Every structure is written in C-alpha cells, then in structure tokens.
C-alpha cells in the first residue's frame, strides 16, 4: 500500500487537513456526554444546584452571574451548548468529508491515469497475459476499492483511534472502576477482529479474480455478439456467464458469512458492557457513600463505553473494505510494476535507400516451445518498393510484419529501418514512420472524419478527402446523409467488411507514412476495387515503401517483388514472372487459384 499512498503527495494538504478536522468532530462528540451529565445531575436531579459541578458553576456564572439558578435555566443553557457543540462538530465533519474526498479522488484520478499509461506501454504479449477482462477490472473496480479505502483511512481510521483513546480517558475520569469493563471487553473484540480478517483477506483476492472472469465473459460476448447469434450460441454463452456469475456469488457468500460473525459478537459485548456499567454505578450509589456516582455519571459512562466499543466496530465495519483494498492494491501494483517488455532507444534515422532489412531473424511467440514461427529470415526492402508476402495459412506472414513496428521483438538476428537497428529507435518515432493496416479492421465509435484523423491528428479536410479517395471509400462515404460527419457504431458494426477495410486504409494513408504495411487488409474488396486501390497507391505514394500480405495471386502479381514464405522462412523473393519460372510453391498457389477463377474466390 505504500506505493499506492505515494499518490497522495500532490494532495497532502487535504490529506493532512482531513484527520485534523476529524479530530475537531470527535472532540465535539466526546464533550457532549459531559454537558448531558450537567443537565441530568444539576438541572433535573438537584433543581438547578450547580455547586458540585465545576463545569456547571463556571458556565452559569459566566452567563448569569453569581446567585442561584432554576432548573430550567440550567437545562436550557446546557441544551443550547449541546446544540452549538453539535453544529461545531457538524462543521468539522463536513469539512473533513470534503478534504478526504478531494485527497482520495485525486489519488484515484492519478492512479488510474498511471495505470492506464502503463497498460498502453505494455507489449502485446503482456496485454494478452493479463487478459482484457482483468485489465478492465483492475482499472475500474480495483482502483475504486482503493479510493474508498483511502477515504476511510483519512476519516474513519482517525475517528476510531481518537474515539477509542478519548472515550477511554473520559470514562476513567468518571470512575476508574469502569476501566475493568474495557479490560474484559476489548480482548474479545480484538481477537474476533483478528481471526475474521485473517480468513477474509485471502478470500477477497479470490473475489476479484472471479470478477475478472465475469468481466471477461461479458467483454467477449458483447464484442462477439454477431458470432454468438450467427451460431445460435446464446444459451451456451448464457450458461458460461451464469457459471462465472455463480462462482462470484458463492465466493462473496463465503466472505460475507465470515464477516457476519462480527456484528453479533460486538453487539453482545457492547450490551454486556452497558449492563455492567449500570450495575457497578447503581451498586456504588447504594453502597459507597461519597463515591460521587450519579445518574448523570452512569449515563455519560454508558455513552463513553459505547463510543469506545463503537470505535472497534468501525474498524470491523471497515475490515471488509480493508481486505478488498489490500487485494486490489496487489492487483493494481502488478500492472504498475510491469516493466514494458519492449523498450525504445533514443535514436532516429532519416529515410535511406534500404527501408527495411531483416538479417538472420528468428522468432517464436513468448511462452511457446518447438520450432520457431520464423527462422533464418534475410530480406531487404528498398525505399519506394512494393513487396508482397504470400504463403499458406500459418506460415508466419503476419508474424513477419509484426516485428517491423516492434509489436514483438525477434529472438535472434536484427531488423533495420533506414539502416538503424529498430531496438535503437525511439519507439514513438519508429512507429510514426509506419502505418499499419491489420487483418481485423478496428474502428471507433466516432465520426468517419475523426476515425480517419486517428492517422494524423492535424489532418485538414482536403487531406482527409484525399486519403478517402486513395482508399476507394469516397463513393460510400458520400452516400451517407452526414457524409464525413456520419457516426460509426462501435467497432464499425454499421459498416460492411469492405467498407471497414477501406476506412482503415484511409486512416493509414492520411499520415503519408514512409512505410505502409497492409496485412491482408484487402481481402473483402473485389478485384476491380483492389486494382484501383493499388493504382492510387502507386500514383500518390511513389516514395512510400509498401509491404503487403495477401492470399490472392491477383492481389500481389503487380508488386515489385513477392516473398514466398513456407515453414516459417522465405524460400523465394522475386517478381511474379520469375517466381512462376523458378518457385514450385508459388506456382502451386497460382495454379490452385486459377482453377477457382483467378483467385477471385480465395
């Protein structure tokens, strides 16, 4: 928790003010029984005689001067003092709540920003390890638990000890014999609290994991709703959710059963303590002459012992939040302590004759064994060249291009961009050189214009329209009523597959990148549209190096060179005509597609 609480430093003024203000509220609460004692003993029992109470005498002389006082004068005077004390305590309490909220919510804001920033810096490998559902839970529910706990620390963790210490002192000033009652009650309550928390804390960690699972199932089903409906899997997915939700419920049941032990025990101990105070006080009034025990003293003692034991109850009530906060803090710290697996350098290279160079590169996905996904990759792509990559499913095409922007790092060998090892590049500057259009088109719930502007924040209207024309998306964009202001549904659900691909391409080309990677991003386009797209890219981006993955021969045959991948390595790299003459694998792909109509159905 120490690391978490370091986020309070910018709000230390509020963090310090909150407990100080809480002290004012607690002191007001501790003073009230004293005033009540005067009303009972002097105002009611002795009809206004204040001679035996130093407090009552001083207050009455200050207000009314020397003399005798009526019962109503004493009752009204000290009643008003109690009201004023309550108002003062209320002022301190409200101010304390405000200061605690400012400090805790500020901590939550900064912690959430840092955690989100760390998530954004994690590699694909690390994000997959945490899982999306778990990261969402950590960013929302877990941090909310920490914020709630922080606010309690600044308020209740101060209120409880002051009530405990102050109430004990005030109780002992009434009669030392009342301390015996506390000596009997406190060990029982402390032992109960210790045993309950020891069992509850590990279970709360399980609660958060079960919540992760529920969030993961919901996230998967919401994002994959169309697939679920297409395969009529609603009942199956509902069953998955029900099972995950039941596990969460049952785990919460377990921890709540443990926590439920606290209240009955505390109530029993508290009521027994009150009975003991009444018994001891009554016995002294009847049997010990000059003990100073009065009905008002007994009432005050009951209030003070209740406050002392309530301070223990506050801690037990907070134990739920404490347990969850400790578990949540560990989970948030796991994110904050995750050092990015891929760290950039601080160098940068201007555009060179050789845009991309692979030298003896091998790669396997983290945590896997066996043959590498890629091995012995040696390849050079010149500036302005269009290189196509083709091969069977699972041959390593996407893995190859994922190494260029450092989504993953190669296990062996080096990759150079413009003659500089990519590990030496500033990571942001490296990726600004590159526009990447992925297999799965990811669009955001925003306007068409703003989705394209993702590629270049300061793109003007003409640049956006030019990118749309190059991507062959102008016709369908202008077909919308709002044109570029048309709002796209989440993940582009309101667009067809081909429209989403063209939108993704427009977003990529608006940046006018040095390197453009198209990872099977024209698969949903017909051959005529794809041909127009290639022609527009050749005309508008002559100096841009294009690396294009495709499944269809018709999509790659006009590329400057075509790299054929088989078994995780490049077995040939040459123009179409040369490959047809010298590469059996390429020729087999060509022949199989020609039998299917020139690859149009591939």
Quick: pLDDT tens for 560-574.
999 999 888 999 999
**Is residue 576 a contact partner of residue 590, using CB atoms and an 8 Å limit?**
no
Tokens of 565: 């991948």
Average pLDDT, integer, range 317-334: 78
Closest CA to 352 of 509, 510, 514: 514
Q: What is the DSSP string of 200-232?
A: HHHHHHHHHHHHHHHHHHHHHHHHTHHHHHHTT
Q: Which residue has the higher pLDDT, 83 or 6?
A: 83
Q: How far apart are CA 416 and CA 427, in angstroms?
A: 13
Max avg pLDDT among 112-116, 136-140, 259-263? 112-116
Quick: pLDDT tens for 568-594.
899 999 999 899 988 888 888 888 887
Domains in the chain, ordered, with CATH? 2-336 (1.20.1560.10), 343-433+513-602 (3.40.50.300), 441-512 (3.40.50.300)
Closest CA to 564 of 587, 591, 581, 541: 587
90 pLDDT tier (thresholds 50, 70, 90): very high
**Is residue 125 a contact partner of residue 341, using CB atoms and an 8 Å limit?**
yes
Q: Is the per-residue pLDDT at 101 higher than 50? A: yes
Tokens of 575: 């123009």
Across the chain, mean pLDDT equals 84
73 pLDDT tier (thresholds 50, 70, 90): confident
How many residues are listed for the chain in this entry? 602
Q: Is the per-residue pLDDT at 42 higher than 70? A: yes
Any idea what DSSP says for residue 488?
P
Q: What are the b/e assignments for 343-369, b being 16+ CB within 10 Å?
A: ebeeeebeeeeebbbbeebbbbeeeee
CA distances from 63 to 37, 40, 59, 124 (A): 19, 19, 6, 76
Q: Is the per-residue pLDDT at 596 higher than 60? A: no
Q: Helix (H, G, I), strand (E, B), or coil: what is residue 438?
A: coil
Question: What was the pLDDT predicted at 454?
Answer: 86
Instruction: Write the burial class of residue 532 (CB in 10 Å: 0-12 exposed, 13-18 middle, 19+ buried).
Output: middle
Q: Around 357, how many Cα atoms within 13 Å sit in the side-chain half-sphere?
A: 13
Q: Is the per-residue pLDDT at 197 higher than 80? A: no
Q: Helix (H, G, I), strand (E, B), or coil: what is residue 447?
A: strand
Q: How far apart are CA 342 and CA 401, in angstroms?
A: 16
Average pLDDT, integer, range 351-377: 87
Q: Which of 247-261, 481-495, 529-543 shows the lowest per-residue confidence on average (mean pLDDT)? A: 481-495
Q: Is the per-residue pLDDT at 60 higher than 70? A: yes
Question: What was the pLDDT predicted at 600?
Answer: 43
Q: How far apart are CA 42 and CA 56, in angstroms?
A: 8
Question: What was the pLDDT predicted at 601?
Answer: 38
Residue 181: count of CB within 10 angstroms of its CB: 22
Angle at 428 between CA 427 and CA 431, to 5 degrees: 85
Average pLDDT, integer, range 336-345: 81
Quick: pLDDT tens for 414-455.
999 998 999 999 888 888 888 988 878 888 888 888 888 888
Q: How far is CA 79 from the centre of its chain?
A: 50
Q: Is the per-residue pLDDT at 69 higher than 50? A: yes
Residue 459: count of CB within 10 angstroms of its CB: 20
Question: What was the pLDDT predicted at 291?
Answer: 65
182 pLDDT tier (thresholds 50, 70, 90): confident
Q: Is the per-residue pLDDT at 599 higher than 50? A: no
Model-wide pTM > 0.85: no
Q: How far apart are CA 129 and CA 384, in angstroms?
A: 37
Q: How far apart are CA 142 and CA 325, in angstroms?
A: 7
Quick: pLDDT tens for 262-313.
778 888 888 888 888 888 888 888 777 666 677 888 888 888 888 888 887 7
Question: What was the pLDDT predicted at 524?
Answer: 80
Q: How far apart are CA 83 and CA 76, in angstroms?
A: 10
Question: What was the pLDDT predicted at 561?
Answer: 92
Owner of token pair 């002392």: 308
Average pLDDT, integer, range 308-327: 75
Q: How far apart are CA 352 and CA 196, in angstroms?
A: 67
Quick: pLDDT tens for 474-525.
888 888 888 888 888 777 777 888 888 888 899 898 988 899 999 888 888 8
Report the relative pairing of strands 515-519 and 561-566 from DSSP bridges.
unpaired
Q: How far apart are CA 317 and CA 231, in angstroms?
A: 48
Q: How far apart are CA 46 and CA 554, in angstroms?
A: 108
Q: How far apart are CA 122 and CA 133, in angstroms?
A: 16
């Amino acid at each position: 928790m120490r690391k978490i609480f370091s986020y309070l430093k910018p709000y230390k003024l509020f963090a310090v003010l909150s407990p100080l203000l809480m002290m004012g509220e607690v002191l007001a609460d501790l003073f009230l029984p004293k005033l009540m004692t005067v009303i009972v003993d002097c105002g009611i029992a002795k009809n206004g005689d204040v001679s035996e109470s130093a407090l009552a005498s001083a207050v009455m002389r200050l207000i009314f001067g020397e003399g005798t006082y009526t019962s109503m004068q004493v009752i009204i005077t000290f009643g008003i003092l109690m009201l004023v004390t309550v108002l003062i305590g209320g002022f301190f309490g409200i101010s304390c709540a405000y200061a605690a909220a400012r400090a805790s919510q500020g901590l939550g804001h900064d912690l959430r920003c840092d955690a989100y920033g760390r998530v954004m810096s994690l590699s694909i490998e690390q994000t997959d390890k945490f899982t999306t559902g778990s990261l969402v839970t950590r960013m929302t529910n877990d941090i909310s638990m920490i914020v709630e706990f922080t606010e309690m620390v600044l308020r209740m963790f101060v209120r409880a000890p002051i009530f405990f210490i102050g109430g004990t002192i005030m109780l002992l000033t009434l009669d030392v014999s009342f301390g015996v009652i506390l000596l009997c009650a406190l060990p029982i309550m402390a032992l109960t609290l210790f045993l309950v928390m020891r069992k509850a804390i590990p279970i709360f960690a399980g609660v958060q994991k079960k919540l992760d699972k529920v969030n993961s199932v919901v996230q998967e089903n919401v994002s994959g709703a169309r697939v679920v409906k297409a395969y009529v899997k609603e009942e199956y997915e509902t069953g998955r959710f029900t099972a995950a939700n039941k596990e969460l419920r049952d785990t919460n049941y377990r921890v709540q059963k443990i926590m439920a032990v606290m209240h009955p025990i505390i109530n029993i101990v508290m009521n027994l303590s009150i009975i003991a105070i009444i018994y001891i006080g009554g016995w002294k009034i009847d049997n010990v002459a000059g003990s100073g025990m009065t009905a008002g003293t007994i009432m005050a003692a009951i209030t003070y012992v209740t406050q002392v034991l309530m301070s223990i109850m506050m801690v037990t009530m907070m134990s739920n939040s404490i347990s969850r906060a400790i578990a949540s803090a560990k989970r948030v710290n796991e994110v904050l302590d995750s050092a990015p697996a891929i760290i950039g350098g601080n160098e940068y290279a201007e555009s060179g004759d050789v845009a991309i160079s692979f030298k003896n590169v091998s790669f396997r996905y983290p945590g896997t064994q066996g043959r590498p996904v890629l091995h012995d990759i040696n390849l050079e792509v010149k500036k302005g060249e269009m290189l196509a990559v083709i091969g069977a499913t699972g041959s390593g095409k996407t893995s190859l291009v994922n190494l260029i922007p450092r989504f993953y790092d190669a296990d062996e060998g080096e990759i150079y961009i413009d003659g500089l090892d990519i590990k030496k590049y500033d990571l942001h500057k490296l990726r600004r050189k590159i526009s990447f259009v992925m297999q799965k088109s990811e669009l955001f719930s925003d306007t068409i214009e703003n989705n394209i502007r993702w590629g270049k924040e300061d793109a003007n209207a003409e640049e956006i329209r030019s990118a749309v024309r190059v991507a062959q998306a102008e016709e369908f964009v202008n077909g919308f009523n709002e044109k570029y202001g048309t709002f796209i549904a989440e993940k582009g659900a309101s667009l067809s597959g081909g429209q989403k691909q063209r939108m993704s391409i427009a977003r990529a080309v608006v940046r006018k990148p040095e390197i453009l990677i198209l990872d099977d991003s024209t698969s949903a386009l017909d051959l005529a549209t794809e041909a127009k797209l290639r022609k527009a890219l050749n005309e508008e981006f002559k100096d841009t190096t294009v690396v294009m993955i495709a499944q269809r021969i018709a999509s790659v045959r006009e590329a400057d060179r075509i790299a054929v991948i088989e078994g995780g390595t490049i077995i040939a790299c040459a123009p179409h005509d040369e490959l047809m003459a010298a590469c059996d694998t390429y020729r087999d792909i060509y022949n199989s597609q020609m039998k299917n109509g020139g690859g149009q159905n591939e």
